[in-house]
Amino acid sequence: MSYNSSLPADTTVPEEIRENFRALKEDKIVAAASATTADLAAAATKLATAVNINGVSFDGSEDITITAEADYDGGHLLTANGYQQLSNGLILQWGVATGATATSFPIAFPNQCFAATAALSVGGNTPRGVTSIVTTTSTITIYEHESDGGESRSGDTIKYIAVGY
């Protein structure tokens, strides 16, 4: 089997392409013919520029071990009144509270409760809504009203989600 390694005769081909072809013919093909299998394998698997994968330098020349970033789970309670604490300190909490009654979070926020949202979990024909939510680092109090007259209510079941650290 043979091949023709002559430069293209077409002079409309840009000089840069012609030079690249010449370099390929003179250097790479000849060098490849005299290279050992080990040389070729090393050159074929190593990246010209190493990249970082999850903070580990990788150039393809050897195996690397990727470990998970620091354990994200700083603690959790996966129940109806529960929480998930992340390794960076952020805490997500959820639960069921009784309207107009201070309800303890599953765990206290060590610093601050950033935000909370709530939704009523009641039936019936009277429209009701959450009026306000008051939080401390350890409790949530949710106030509600009847929207057909603005009357304050208490005692209904209210579901909440709170975020803090």
Q: What is the pLDDT of residues 95-151, one digit of tens each?
A: 999 888 999 999 999 999 999 999 986 666 667 788 899 999 999 999 888 776 666
pLDDT band (50, 70, 90) for residue 10: low
Q: Using a cut of 0.75, tell me whether the model's pTM lies above it.
A: no
For the chain, what are the domain ranges? 73-164
Nearest CA among 56, 57, 160, 147 for reference residue 102:
160
Q: What is the pLDDT of residues 31-80, one digit of tens each?
A: 555 666 666 666 666 787 888 877 788 888 888 887 665 567 889 999 99
Neighbouring residues of 159: CB distance < 8 A, sequence distance ≥ 6: 94, 95, 96, 97, 118, 119, 120, 121
Radius of gyration of the chain (CA): 34
State the residue for tokens 């680092």: 137
Instruction: Report whether pLDDT(155) > 70.
Output: yes
What is the CATH topology of the domain spanning 73-164? Immunoglobulin-like (2.60.40)
